[in-house]
């Protein structure tokens, strides 16, 4: 693909920073925007990244040292309309990759304040991006990170965004019903409706990537220099299941399987997140088209994942215990789950499936940073029903 201009919102985050480096390595013109909300939340929680992440400015300098390529940065808040208009007008992007939201379900369930903050941050930010596109960059392609959790766990197969419905003798293809399980996941549902509206009414072009749970810490670009590493959270609010289990294995903390452990989700390696986003950017939809791709490579129950980490740990000489703790969330602990995920494969996705070697590699990488692990924020405390 010839070089294009890509604006990466949330470009200082777990996924945004490696994505920025990847597009830059391919020769694209990359601009990132971030307000460091994620770094601030980690401080608020008394938690922190396992990996010693550098400031955004240092990362960009290190990337230039290593690759001789430029990434430009704008520091500001996507809920500020003036900031968003400025970066869109200044960049004139071909594609906008939008990671810039509060991504944690537990954070959004701490209390009323955190729920409202999450929905304001996510929904207002995305609305600002849509208006800026309508007025300043109507040809640009919005690649928006949504989540598989928008669908929840219905007792039917999950389709990719839309479902054909026969009703009273008539047929239509309509958005798949949504049953999100947290205020955060709800914010993504609101975003999806808003973006769909922007495509239908204003002729925007957008790809909504309903992503599963991401695991992993290393990409070809982060491996070039330790200063380029991405953040990696393992606390009860910001950490995700497999990442948390591997850190728990390293420090001898019993793996925290919530409830029965039959909660089944789609998962993918961070390398495949970047691959999927690249495929979406390289294959834009038409004006007015709203596409939904389910972005994960395989599905696992959290119980299966914990058993996997336990088995790989044993092979590495680590004694890993699994502890079923009362589920702090309100969610189905055993359920049917079968979600379609063919559209990215049709575009050329080559999945990096979870193997024992990948789990071992993840554990080894975590062991390198073992001295930085904070124990206090690991135990689950945030409850969906705090009464
Ligand atoms: P992250 O918190 O590390 O990255 C998000 C970045 O956006 C952060 O750097 C944050 O500071 C920035 N940001 C948030 N609100 C902002 C605002 N108002 N203005 C400017 N910058 C803002 O999270 P992540 O894990 O990299 O997730 C990125 C995106 O992917 C999120 O939208 C998340 O919902 C989605 N997602 C993540 C996963 C996962 O497992 N990590 C899975 C599915 C979907
Ligand atoms: N879980 C455990 N033990 C833990 C942590 C989690 O059993 O220590 C369980 C949870 O109860 C849940 C499942 O694992 O059933 C997934 O939880 P998670 O914290 O790994 O992921 P989740 O809260 O769903 O959120 C993460 C990202 C979010 C993204 C979402 C994709 O933080 O940004 O949107 O994964 S998805 O789950 O497909 O909606």
Q: Is 331 inside any structural domain?
A: yes
Which amino acid residue places its CA nearest to atom 15 of ligand 2? Answer: 263
Q: Are 294 and 221 in contact (CB under 8 A)?
A: no
118 is catalytic: no
CATH code of 190's domain: 3.40.50.720
Q: Is 377 inside any structural domain?
A: no
Q: Is 13 inside any structural domain?
A: yes
Pocket of ligand 1 (CB under 6 A): 10, 12-16, 34-38, 77-79, 99-103, 121, 125, 145, 147, 211, 213-214, 231, 240
Per-residue confidence in pLDDT tens, the chain, 387 aa: 899 999 999 999 999 999 999 999 999 999 999 999 999 999 999 999 999 999 999 999 999 999 999 999 999 999 999 999 999 999 999 999 999 999 999 999 999 999 999 999 999 999 999 999 999 999 999 999 999 999 999 999 999 999 999 999 999 999 999 999 999 999 999 999 999 999 999 999 999 999 999 999 999 999 999 999 999 999 999 999 999 999 999 999 999 999 999 999 999 999 999 999 999 999 999 999 999 999 999 999 999 999 999 999 999 999 999 998 999 999 999 999 999 999 999 999 999 999 999 999 999 999 999 999 999 999 999 999 987
134 token code pair:
């309508």
Catalytic residue among 91, 144, 188, 365: 188
Catalytic residue among 118, 126, 147, 219: 147
Q: Is 380 inside any structural domain?
A: no
Using the atom order of ligand 2, give the atom closest to the CA of residue 248: 8
Q: Is 386 inside any structural domain?
A: no
> Tokens 């300043």, residue?
136
Q: Are 318 and 257 in contact (CB under 8 A)?
A: no
Please give the tally of structural domains in the chain. 1
The domain containing residue 221 runs over which residues? 5-372
Q: Are 31 and 7 in contact (CB under 8 A)?
A: yes
Where b means 16+ CB within 10 Å and e means fewer, 319-332 reads ebebebeebbbebb
Q: Rounded CA gap, 294 and 297, in Å?
A: 9
78 token code pair:
């996507």
147 is catalytic: yes
Q: Is 387 inside any structural domain?
A: no
Tell me whether strands 264-269 and 298-301 are parallel, antiparallel or unpaired. Answer: antiparallel
Q: Is 324 inside any structural domain?
A: yes
Residue 136 Cα to ligand 1 midpoint, Å, equals 24
């Amino acid at each position: 693909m010839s070089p294009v201009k890509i604006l990466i919102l949330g470009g200082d985050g777990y996924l945004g920073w490696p994505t920025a480096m990847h597009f830059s390595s391919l020769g694209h013109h990359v601009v990132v925007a971030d307000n460091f909300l994620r770094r601030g939340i980690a401080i608020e929680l008394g938690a922190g990244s396992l990996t010693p992440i550098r400031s955004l400015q240092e990362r960009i300098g290190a990337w230039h040292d290593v690759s001789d390529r430029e990434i430009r940065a704008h520091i500001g808040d996507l809920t500020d309309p003036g900031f968003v208009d400025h970066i869109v007008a200044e960049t004139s992007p071909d594609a906008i990759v939008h990671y810039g939201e509060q991504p944690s379900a537990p954070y959004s369930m701490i209390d009323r304040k955190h729920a409202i903050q999450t929905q304001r941050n996510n929904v207002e930010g995305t609305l600002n991006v849509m208006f800026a596109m309508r007025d300043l960059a109507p040809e640009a392609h919005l690649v928006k990170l949504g989540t598989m959790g928008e669908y929840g766990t219905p007792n039917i197969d999950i389709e990719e965004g839309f479902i054909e419905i026969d009703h009273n003798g008539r047929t239509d293809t309509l958005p798949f019903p949504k049953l999100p399980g947290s205020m955060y996941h709800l914010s993504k549902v609101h975003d999806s409706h808003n973006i769909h509206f922007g495509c239908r009414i204003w002729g925007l072009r957008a790809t909504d990537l309903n992503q599963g749970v991401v695991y992993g810490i290393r990409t070809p670009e982060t491996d070039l220099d330790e200063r380029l590493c991405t953040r990696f959270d393992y606390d009860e609010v910001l950490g995700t299941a497999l990442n948390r289990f591997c850190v728990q294995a390293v420090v001898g903390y019993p793996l925290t399987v919530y409830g029965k452990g039959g909660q089944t989700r789609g998962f993918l390696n961070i390398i495949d997140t970047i691959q999927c986003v690249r495929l979406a950017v390289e294959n834009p939809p038409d004006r007015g088209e709203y596409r939904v791709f389910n972005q994960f490579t395989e599905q696992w129950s959290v119980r299966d994942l914990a058993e996997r980490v336990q088995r790989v740990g044993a092979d590495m000489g680590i004694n890993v215990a699994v502890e079923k703790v009362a589920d702090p969330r309100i969610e189905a602990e055993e359920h049917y789950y079968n979600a379609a995920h063919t559209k990215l494969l049709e575009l050329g996705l080559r999945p990096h499936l979870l193997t024992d070697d990948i789990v071992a590699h993840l554990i080894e990488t975590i062991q390198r940073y073992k001295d930085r692990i904070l124990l206090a924020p690991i135990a689950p405390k945030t409850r969906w029903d705090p009464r």
